[in-house]
Amino acid sequence: MAINVVPGQTLGRGDLSINLTDAQDNPQNAAVITYALYYIDNSGPVPVEVLIGDPNRVPVNPQIGEYYAAVQIPGNAVSGEYRIKWTFKQYVSSSQQQVAQTFNVVGQDSQLLVTSYTEQEWQMIHKLRMHLRDQNPSKFYHFRPPEFEGDLGQYNQVFGQIWEDAELYENLEASLDQWNTLPPFTGNMTPSLTRLVLDHPAWRSPILWGAIGWSCFQLMANWTADEFSLGYQDVTKVILPGGRVLEIPIGELWEMAHGQKCNDPIHGLLLSGRLGVEAVVPATGEVRQVVLDDVLRHYTPRKQLVKVTLEDGRSVTCTEDHSIFCVLGLGIIPFKAGNLKPGDKIVTVKDGKVQEVAIGGIDTLPPMTYTFDLSVPGPENFVLANGILAHNSYSIGGVSLDLEKSSKYQTLKDSADQQFDKSAEAKVRTVKFVRGLSQPRFGRSTRASFGPYTARGVLGPRAFTVFAALSLVPIAFFLTQAVELLT
């Protein structure tokens, strides 16, 4: 998650920083380290880096392994996206390594960061970040090739924590609001995170569980910006009621279902669940007809496109993260198009049977503003008109998501919500019990439950106890007489 800064702000330790460690995670200084600042010009079809000032700036090194950029954002800085690139060597003879971090310059009126928190609020933010494991190992860069990062030229080697402090604070407040409104209402007992930590520390855990749920939902929402999809002209094969097959570009199919042409009969057929597609059962390779759940459109102006062309001339154009299937063992599994290479064999379908066809070539194309996909519950894939098998997207609450990543977010969110609900059930019992032992004068205790508080014309605890004991005498006498009569 990129940090936000404002014109005129002086950056210091902990802002644009990097921590270097050796293979054993021990802090280590670099033999050589510099950094450069860039403005990202997004006005064209492809983002362009514009160098700002010296390309070999020297960072501040306050302690072993820690470096930060001590710069002041100019007062006339243009709002937008920026990038800092760190270039360093472990030893003088080592190969050069480079990582990058994105940050945003925003106007003073647009700054959403909370500039100060109470000690108790910082505690909750820190606890939430620890629970989320938001430590991002790339922020503490190891002197070894990163295992899951791609080419820096594609801007994938970007480090930094996933959530900003301000976002975690908002999630904590949302969780607290939700907690307070659950029965019994407790808004008057915990009006803020600070008071909650001071007065009700036992409630910190459920608030953290609720905030974890909100944070996972943010990941689900953010993923839509990186959604993978097919190009507008990729032709889908849709099966209409009665078995008639319609071959149509996926972008045009979306327009019939949701866009400017949604008065088309396709819209009604989709809503009624009467549109079908061909799909393949991954475990068995069986080809079957399944119901098409939705046609999705994604905003992908920064997603690199890949055109995969088979040896027989068939092709599919999709974002680099879109998955195409390959045979593995007795089943088929998805592979990202960006990781495929000529000679690899992918799954196609012909006459109701799975076939493998080798890739003849792969070309990279500039991004498209919008790309498209289908949601196919069950097999989670669909066959294009040319027979190529493609992975699908699916939707949670109207938010379209990549199956693999978003399902993990959804699982995390569901687990956090379950823990929050369990705590809410305990809250109902605990709050009602505590309030039952509460009297204004005597607080919460067994003694406080012995009747009303003392005031003029009202019995005090001692008088109330004596009065209650005397009141039991007639009852005891009556019970004694009843026992004698029965015997």
Q: Provide the residue type at 395 as one letter.
A: S
Cα→Cα distances 19→27, 56, 135, 152, 159, Å: 8, 18, 12, 19, 11
Average pLDDT over every residue of 55-76: 91
CATH, residue 32: 2.60.40
pLDDT for residue 33 is more than 70: yes
The CA distance from 315 to 334, in Å, is 17
Are residue 480 and residue 363 in the same domain, yes or no? Answer: no
The CA distance from 286 to 239, in Å, is 18
Report pLDDT digits (tens) over 243-274.
999 999 998 998 888 776 766 788 888 888 89
Are residue 468 and residue 359 in the same domain, yes or no? Answer: no
- End-to-end C-alpha distance for the chain, whole angstroms: 83
Given a contact cutoff of 8 angstroms between Cβ atoms, the answer to whether 372 and 254 are in contact is yes
Of 147, 126, 300, nearest in space to 229 by CA: 300
Tell me 51's DSSP state: E
Are residue 276 and residue 373 in the same domain, yes or no? Answer: yes
Q: Which residue has the higher pLDDT, 141 or 355?
A: 355
Q: Does residue 217 form part of some domain?
A: no
State the pLDDT at residue 26: 76
Domain that holds residue 274: 235-400
Q: Does residue 124 form part of some domain?
A: yes
The CA distance from 178 to 256, in Å, is 40
The CA distance from 447 to 254, in Å, is 70
Of 114-118, 183-187, 204-208, 476-480, the range with the highest mean pLDDT is: 204-208
Are residue 117 and residue 247 in the same domain, yes or no? Answer: no
Q: Which residue has the higher pLDDT, 416 or 393?
A: 416
Of 394, 222, 361, nearest in space to 299 by CA: 222
Are residue 158 and residue 274 in the same domain, yes or no? Answer: no
Strands annotated E in 133-175: 140-142
Only one residue has tokens 């003029």, namely 456
Are residue 11 and residue 88 in the same domain, yes or no? Answer: yes
Strands annotated E in 184-249: 235-239, 245-249
Are residue 253 and residue 364 in the same domain, yes or no? Answer: yes
Are residue 159 and residue 290 in the same domain, yes or no? Answer: no
Domain count, the chain: 3
Report pLDDT digits (tens) over 435-444.
554 555 545 4
Are residue 455 and residue 388 in the same domain, yes or no? Answer: no
- Please, what is the average pLDDT of the chain? 77
Given a contact cutoff of 8 angstroms between Cβ atoms, the answer to whether 442 and 448 are in contact is yes
Residue ending a domain, choose from 372, 400, 428: 400
State the pLDDT at residue 405: 55
Q: Does residue 246 form part of some domain?
A: yes
State the pLDDT at residue 379: 82
pLDDT band at 453 (very low <50, low <70, confident <90, very high): very low
Instruction: Supply the Cα-derived Rg of the chain in whole angstroms.
Output: 32
Q: Provide the residue type at 292 as one letter.
A: L
Whole-model pTM: value is 0.43
Of 12-21, 31-40, 82-91, the range with the highest mean pLDDT is: 31-40
Are residue 376 and residue 450 in the same domain, yes or no? Answer: no
Residue ending a domain, choose from 164, 190, 207: 164
